[in-house]
Amino acid sequence: MSATDALSRVFAALADPTRRDMVARLSEGEATVSRLAEPYRMTLQAVYKHLRVLEEAGLVSRPRGPQPRPVRLEVEALDLVDTWIERHRDRVEQGYRRLDAVLEEMESDEHEQEHADVRRGRPESAGHPDDA
């Protein structure tokens, strides 16, 4: 499975608020299915369906063996999302840094022009089109 497919599965699994809540709760530690089911007004079968979606996305795992089996969060799936988000965050931040540099340069040029006008004996706002 490609990283794009895995990422799509993770985002699809996290699109549901109940599953996001389960992931948040599991971030605090492992839990049994019955413990995970406690706060929800749904059948245990419905909880298992949510867990199956999370498992297929690679977000949680349940070891084989006798019941009760703990459900645990799988950090690798979260790392995949984090990497994707950070890559795009970096691109956006680079754009903002470029914009900040351009604005800083414009402010510096404007400040230099104002000082040149004062040295020539003209008031700072004289002849500026925005002051009309």
Question: pLDDT tens, position by position, for the chain (132 residues)?
Answer: 666 799 999 999 999 999 999 999 999 999 999 999 999 999 999 999 999 999 999 999 998 888 888 999 999 999 999 999 999 888 888 888 888 888 888 888 787 787 777 777 665 555 556 655
Give residue 127's pLDDT: 56
Any idea how long the chain is? 132
Q: Taking a C-beta distance cutoff of 8 angstroms, is the pair 38, 18 a contact? A: no
Strand order in the sheet with 60-61: 31-32, 70-73, 60-61
Q: Determine the residue type at 76.
A: E
- The first and second tokens of residue 56, run together, are 């297929």
Name the DSSP class of 46. Answer: H
Q: Taking a C-beta distance cutoff of 8 angstroms, is the pair 125, 131 a contact? A: yes
